[in-house]
Amino acid sequence: MGLDKMEAQPLTIRASADQAIVWANDRLYLLDQRILPNEEAYIELQSARDTAGAIRDMVVRGAPAIGITAAFGVVLAARSCFRASPDGWRDLLVDELQALAEARPTAVNLCWALERMQRLFPGIGGADPEPRLLREAQSIHREDIAANRTMGEFGAGLIEATTSVITHCNAGALATGGYGTALGVIRSAHAAGRIGMVYADETRPWLQGSRLTAWELARDRIPVTLLTDGAAASRMAQGGIGWIIVGSDRIAANGDVANKIGTYNLAVAARYHGVKVMVAAPTSTIDMTVRCGKDIPIESRDPAEVLQCGGRWVGAAGVDAWNPVFDVTPAALVDAIVTERGVVLSPDSQKMAELMSR
């Protein structure tokens, strides 16, 4: 069944950013991020194919959240494959894993999580794989929240005096297992009294900033003001912005950072205005097999996403649109990469290798 035909389930769980991915009643539930903040509804998923569809269609988004969701997708796949063939489930799983892996190309957390789940297959022997795989998916989920808490402390420690910050897209609880990467730093810094105002870029075309980041921060009573993406440089020029704080979908071995399209613009403008750039991401987002940003696959989505806004066509008839949904910020424009293993200042290949060997 296509996701568009799938009915959102009645709310049996109270919708919250920290409960965007829920495993309950042997099923996977995703808070439908396409319809937030106007509607709060969960979608129930029973198969890996539907899970891959949910990732592709942005029901769930954000690199760590995609990885966690894919891990639960493997549990669903293993259940159906084991029922179909208790001896041959591993072979049946190959296509399901492929569908999950191909759902979105840039966020490396997706393949990271699938590989971690796959490493368990040989040790499961002839037993039902579901209990073991479920425990692993739940560990991935828990570890991500713990990593975000640690990054929150590390990142907040870099903000010396109370200041205002700009963030882009949504790198919050919704984009992760909970608490958030960039928004985790902002949450911890706010709790320490170091945040004046959070300026959230609206983030065309999916409006993750205005729909999701603003929703999360307003619920936590953290002061937030929206900006159009084009207003960020002007806001920096007015002063009072200490940091740009963003997440990432993939960080290359030399510290180049892929993140939501528009992050690169922010980093260029930040350098001009003397504003520092902080990237908060768990080590599962660091891809040491990719030498530099040029080698990171950048997802291109349907031009219709740009040509429409709020369900209405806004592009002139016959006009096309270019819609790469991530860009690469060179390491030279990044002041700090904050991970759960520690902070890398002015990242380069050597420092990244040292971090990953910890």
Residues making contact with ligand MRU (CB under 6 A): 61-64, 107, 169, 171, 175-176, 181, 208, 246-249, 259-260, 325
> Residue 78: what are its φ and ψ, rounded to 5°?
-65, -40
Could you tell me where the DSSP H helices lie in the chain?
48-56, 63-84, 89-101, 109-118, 121-124, 130-158, 182-191, 214-219, 232-237, 263-273, 304-307, 349-356
Shortest Cβ 122–ligand MRU spacing (Å) = 31
Shortest Cβ 104–ligand MRU spacing (Å) = 7
Q: Report the run of H or E that residue 244 belongs to, with start and end.
A: strand 241-246
Q: Is 249 a catalytic residue?
A: yes
Residue 74 or 110 having the CB closest to ligand MRU: 110
Shortest Cβ 152–ligand MRU spacing (Å) = 12
Shortest Cβ 65–ligand MRU spacing (Å) = 7
Residue 164 or 208 having the CB closest to ligand MRU: 208
Q: Pick from 89, 78, 82, 69: which is nearest to 28 by CA?
A: 69
Residue 134 or 245 having the CB closest to ligand MRU: 245
Which of 32, 144, 229, 249 does the annotation list as catalytic?
Answer: 249
Could you give the angle at which helices 48-56 and 89-101 cross, rounded to 10 degrees? 10
Residue 134 or 275 having the CB closest to ligand MRU: 275
For residue 352, how many C-alpha atoms fall within 13 Å in the half-sphere facing its CB? Answer: 26
Cis previous bond, 37, omega within 30: yes
Shortest Cβ 279–ligand MRU spacing (Å) = 9
Cis previous bond, 205, omega within 30: yes
Among all residues, which ones are annotated catalytic? 249
